[in-house]
Structures are given as structure tokens and as C-alpha cells.
């Protein structure tokens, strides 16, 4: 299964990467030089039938995949494709009966209905040492506990539980298989041992017969079915186990070795650091997962609102757009003892795990203007990222420099401020749109070339800029502003839960 496709000139080989996101399926073709030669995207829709519910029909994943693959293969000799790799949104619960029929819409990563079941799972003996994580509604196991309690007729018919990308694998190969990075996000995996935990499965009324077999992300895990190969004009090529979206995204940007780290400044903010051993800090809401490569793990801090806070402040202050807001902030600069911003607009993950937390501006004065609020927003997000960085570093995993990706990385002013806040050298690289689909294609190549150099297959993109931290400014942020930031949250925390009790009140 791991053999190279026969009679194919190595220089002509291509690798197909498929990423099943929440809003779209993306397919890319990567050549032997590691360059993306073609890409295609097919949109998806999310259903919210009730408050806090988030679902998708897995059948739409497959139809979108077929459209994206057909588009990306246009004008290409599909027989050049030597392997396929998969990536996808993590944590989703895809429930199948014994005939592989879909039993109900898939419950997605951003579904929040299972908070009671999370509290119940936390009482399982050894829960945190096995899973390396807190129980959160986003994970898969609490979703099955909810289905068991509220949709018993569905639960009793469940024969297999698959993660989203692995439902695509079933349609591609006919096999029930997954990879360790995606499986780590279920709360059923013993993350250190990289295999299913019988105790955690039993806690939700399941056993290993309900689970796909676990592989490493760079291993072959099935072959393309003959019928599909003929329809697409391909050979029955290997399909790599692949990875969850964050792990595959890290492979795509070359974050693959111990001590390497990246910071993603998108709608949310993610700090991702690679470890050569299992580490965890669940009490600080750090995610501890397997990486998509053998004998490699990663820690991840997640803040729910990062670059999205800039959109909020632009709208709040009447600024026309975020670039104009950033220009105004830079023109004035960050003032000493200025306003303080808590970026918890929709709650927070690391380090608070507080769904009720909300954003705020404090320390306002009569002279506070829009530029001050903009700078406070940039600083507040940075101080939230510092919280996450310190939580990860509390495990002993410390990076010397951090690669920055995502839309927020385009601002030289903000990235320099972040370097000063974090006290780290920040590296900006070309190819800002690199995504998990490229990582999936790289894993596909490793699946048929297990002896290939990791540095050759997973290089980092070229450096475009470096932001060196200023020692004096870092000391100011760490010793003065960060303690104020933390104290502000602690002082306001009792109000969040009190305010949440009035969520359903509608004044007449």
C-alpha cells in the first residue's frame, strides 16, 4: 500500500490535497517541487436549527469534494497524481449505521449543546491524564454522550463514528481509518499512547468496534476505489491518513520539529508549538494533541477573538474599515497608561475556559479617542496571546522564534507590537494563504516516500520580514500592562455569570 505508483516519472508526479473546512472544501495539486499548481474551492453551508447547535449534512461534504476535485484536475493528466492526502475540520461527529447510512446531521466543532455532558465526562477516573485536555463541548465524545441521552433511537443504531475528513476517506476508499492528530480531538484517544482509550469509549457507551483504525498522518490509510479512479482518470493511488486542520496547516507551513511554533492571527488567535513528547496543561485550557507526524505532539492555545476584535472596534467607532483603523492607531501610537481592552467578545478558551466572558474597555478618560481604542484593541489581543503563550510555556515547551500567519500578519505595526508584548522574534513568510490542503498534499507525498527528508518535503516558506522584540517595551508589557489585564478579568469575572442569567430576558 505504501509503494510508489508504478511507471511514473518522479519529476512528473503530483499530489492531491483535500481539506474539508467548515465553509468550503478546498483541493490543491502540488508538484514534486512542492509548488501548488492548481486549487479549487467548493462552498458548504452550516445549519443552526437551535441556539448553540451547529450541524452539516455529510452528503454535502462529498458532493462538494467531487466538485472541487473535478475542478482542480481540469487540464491535468490525472494519472500524474501519485497519492491523495486529507485534512479537515476537527471534532465533528459523523454517525453511521451498519450499512454506512448517515443517521443524523453531523454535529460540528462549534456546537455548544453538550456542556452538561462535559461536566459528566470530567468525572471519569484519570480523564485529564488520558486525554491531556479539558472536556469542552467542541470535542466529539461529549456530543455522543448528548446523543445517547437525548436521541437514544439514533445512538442505538450507531455502528461507526467518523470525523469529517474520515467520512470523505470512507467515500474515497471504503475504509474506516483516521489519523492520530484528528483522533486526539475526540477525547476518546489516549494522547500519549496515540491509541483509543477503552475507558473513555466506555464512558460514552462505545467501544473500539465503533471507531476507525488509527494511523500516523504520513502513513497510507486506504486506496482510491476503482470506480472513482476510473471516473477521475487516476490510478488506484494511496490515500494518506492526513491530519486535523491545525496539524495539517502546520505541516503546510513547515512547523514540524520540536520547538518550532506558529501564531495564527485570523478571526481567532492560535499559538501552536511542536513537541517531541507528550505534554499537557489542561488546567489552563491548553489543547494537547498528537501532531500529524510520528512521535510528534503539539500544544495549542486558542483565543476565540483575535483579528475579529479589530472589525468590532472599527464598527464601534465608526471607522470605515480595519486598514484605516490601523493607520489611525499607528499615527498616534500606543500611549502609556491608556485604555485597556479585554478581547473576550464571545468568551475565551485559553487560559480561562470561560464561555460567559465578554469584552470591555476600561481606564477611559475624557481625552480618549478612536486611535486610543484602536491601540487598546491591538494591545488587548496581544496580551491575550501572551496568556496563551505563557500557558504553553508552563509545560516547559519554549520556542525561540514564532512564524506568524493569517490576515493579521499583514500589519507591520501590529506584528511589531506583538513581538514586544510576547518578547519573541516573529518571522513573517511568503505564501500567507498556505492552508491545510497543502499540508495534506505534503502528507500524501510522505505516504509514498517514507524515507524522504522531512526538510525537503515540508520546507518553511521564504522569510519576508523579521520583527525583533524591544527589551524595554517587553518589560513594560510584562510587568505593568499584563498584570492589569489579568486583574481586570478576575475583577469582572463574577459579573459575567450574573449577566448570563439574563440572556433570555426580553424587555417589553
In sequence order, the β-bridge partners of residue 96 are 102, 160
Q: What pLDDT band is residue 7 in, cutting at 50, 70 and 90?
A: very low
Segment 62-95, tens digit of pLDDT: 999 999 999 999 999 999 999 999 999 999 999 9
pLDDT in tens, 363-407: 999 999 999 999 999 999 999 999 999 999 999 999 999 999 888
pLDDT of 499 > 80? The answer is no
* Of 346 and 32, the one with more pLDDT: 32
The CA distances from residue 189 to 127, 214, 255, in Å, are 11, 10, 23
Which band of pLDDT confidence, cut at 50, 70 and 90, is reported for residue 1?
Answer: very low
pLDDT over 70, % of the chain? 95
Has residue 255 got a pLDDT over 90? yes
422-448 mean pLDDT: 89
pLDDT tens digit sequence for 107-130: 999 888 999 999 999 999 999 999
Structure letter (DSSP) for residue 348: B
| Mean pLDDT within 228-256 | 96
Determine contact, residues 52/112, Cβ cutoff 8 Å.
Answer: yes
- The pLDDT of residue 9 is 57
Residue 38 main-chain phi, psi, to 5 deg? -160, 150
Residues facing 26 on adjacent strands = 19, 41
Q: Which residues are catalytic?
A: 245
pTM: 0.90
Q: What percent of the chain has pLDDT over 90?
A: 88
Q: How many residues does the chain have?
A: 508
Report the 10 Å Cβ neighbour count for 442.
30
Q: How distant, in Å, are the alpha carbons of 366, 376, 383, 483, 485 from that of 363?
A: 10, 10, 16, 14, 11
Higher per-residue confidence, 425 vs 7: 425
Look at residue 2 and tell me whether its pLDDT is greater than 50.
Answer: no
What pLDDT shows up at residue 435? 79
Confidence of residue 131 (pLDDT cuts 50, 70, 90): very high
How far apart are the C-alpha atoms of 75 and 97, rounded to whole Å? 39
> pLDDT: is 408 or 225 the higher one?
225
Beta strand 401-405 pairing with 261-265: parallel
- Label residue 506 by pLDDT band (50, 70, 90): low
Q: Which residue has the higher pLDDT, 192 or 430?
A: 192
Can you tell me the mean pLDDT for 404-424? 94
Q: What is the pLDDT of residues 287-307, one digit of tens each?
A: 999 999 999 999 999 998 999
Query: Where residue 51 falls among pLDDT bands split at 50, 70, 90?
Result: confident
Predicted confidence band of residue 194 (pLDDT cuts 50, 70, 90) = very high
pLDDT over threshold 50, residue 3: no
- Which segments of 168-296 are extended strands (E)? 177-179, 189-190, 195-196, 213-215, 220-223, 238-240, 243-244, 261-265, 269-275, 287-290
Name the DSSP letter for residue 274: E
Q: Would you state the pLDDT for residue 4?
A: 37
Amino acid at each position: 500500500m505504501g509503494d510508489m505508483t508504478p511507471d511514473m516519472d518522479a519529476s512528473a508526479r503530483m499530489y492531491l490535497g483535500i481539506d474539508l473546512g467548515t465553509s468550503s472544501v478546498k483541493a490543491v495539486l502540488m508538484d514534486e517541487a512542492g509548488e501548488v499548481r492548481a486549487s479549487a474551492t467548493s462552498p458548504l453551508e452550516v445549519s443552526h436549527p437551535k441556539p448553540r447547535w451547529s450541524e452539516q449534512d455529510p452528503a454535502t461534504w462529498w458532493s462538494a469534494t467531487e466538485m472541487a476535485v473535478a475542478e482542480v484536475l481540469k487540464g491535468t493528466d490525472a494519472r500524474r497524481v501519485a497519492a491523495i492526502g486529507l485534512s479537515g475540520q476537527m471534532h465533528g461527529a459523523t454517525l453511521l449505521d451498519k450499512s454506512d447510512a448517515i443517521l443524523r446531521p453531523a454535529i460540528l466543532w462549534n456546537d455548544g449543546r453538550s456542556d452538561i455532558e462535559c461536566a459528566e465526562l470530567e468525572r471519569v477516573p484519570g480523564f485529564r491524564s488520558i486525554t491531556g485536555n479539558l472536556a469542552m463541548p467542541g470535542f466529539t465524545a461529549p456530543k455522543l454522550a448528548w446523543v445517547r441521552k437525548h436521541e437514544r433511537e439514533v445512538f442505538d443504531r450507531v455502528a461507526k463514528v467518523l470525523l469529517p475528513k474520515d467520512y470523505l476517506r470512507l467515500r474515497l476508499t471504503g475504509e474506516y481509518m483516521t489519523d492520530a492528530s484528528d483522533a486526539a480531538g475526540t477525547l476518546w484517544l489516549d494522547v500519549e499512547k496515540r491509541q483509543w482509550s477503552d475507558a473513555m469509549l466506555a464512558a460514552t457507551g462505545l467501544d473500539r468496534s465503533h471507531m476507525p483504525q488509527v494511523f500516523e498522518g504520513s502513513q497510507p490509510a486506504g486506496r482510491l476505489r476503482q470506480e472513482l479512479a476510473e471516473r477521475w482518470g487516476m490510478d488506484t493511488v494511496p490515500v494518506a491518513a492526513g491530519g486535523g486542520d491545525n496539524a495539517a496547516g502546520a505541516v503546510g507551513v513547515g512547523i514540524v520539529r520540536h520547538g518550532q511554533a506558529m501564531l495564527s492571527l485570523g478571526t481567532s488567535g492560535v499559538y501552536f508549538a511542536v513537541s517531541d513528547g507528550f505534554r499537557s496543561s489542561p488546567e489552563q485550557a491548553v489543547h494537547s494533541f498528537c501532531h500529524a507526524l510520528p512521535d510528534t505532539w503539539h500544544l495549542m492555545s486558542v483565543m476565540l477573538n483575535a483579528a475579529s476584535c479589530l472589525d468590532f472596534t472599527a464598527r464601534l467607532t465608526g471607522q470605515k474599515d480595519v486598514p484605516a483603523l490601523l493607520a489611525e492607531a499607528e499615527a498616534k501610537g500606543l500611549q502609556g497608561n491608556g485604555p485597556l481592552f479585554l478581547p473576550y467578545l464571545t468568551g475565551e478558551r485559553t487560559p480561562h475556559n470561560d464561555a460567559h466572558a465578554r469584552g470591555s474597555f476600561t481606564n477611559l478618560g475624557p481625552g480618549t479617542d478612536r486611535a486610543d481604542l484602536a491601540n487598546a484593541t491591538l494591545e488587548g489581543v496581544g496580551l491575550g496571546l501572551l496568556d496563551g503563550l505563557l500557558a504553553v510555556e508552563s509545560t516547559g515547551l519554549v520556542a525561540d522564534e514564532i512564524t506568524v500567519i493569517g490576515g493579521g500578519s499583514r500589519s507591520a505595526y501590529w506584528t511589531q507590537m506583538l513581538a514586544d508584548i510576547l518578547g519573541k522574534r516573529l518571522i513573517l513568510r511568503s505564501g500567507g494563504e498556505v492552508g491545510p490542503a497543502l499540508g495534506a498534499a505534503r502528507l500524501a507525498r510522505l505516504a509514498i516516500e517514507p524515507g524522504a527528508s522531512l526538510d525537503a518535503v515540508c520546507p518553511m516558506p521564504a522569510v519576508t520580514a523579521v520583527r525583533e522584540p524591544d527589551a524595554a517595551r517587553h518589560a513594560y508589557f510584562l510587568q505593568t500592562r499584563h498584570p492589569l489585564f489579568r486583574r481586570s478579568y478576575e475583577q469582572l469575572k463574577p459579573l459575567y455569570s450574573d449577566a448570563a442569567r439574563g440572556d433570555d430576558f426580553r424587555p417589553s
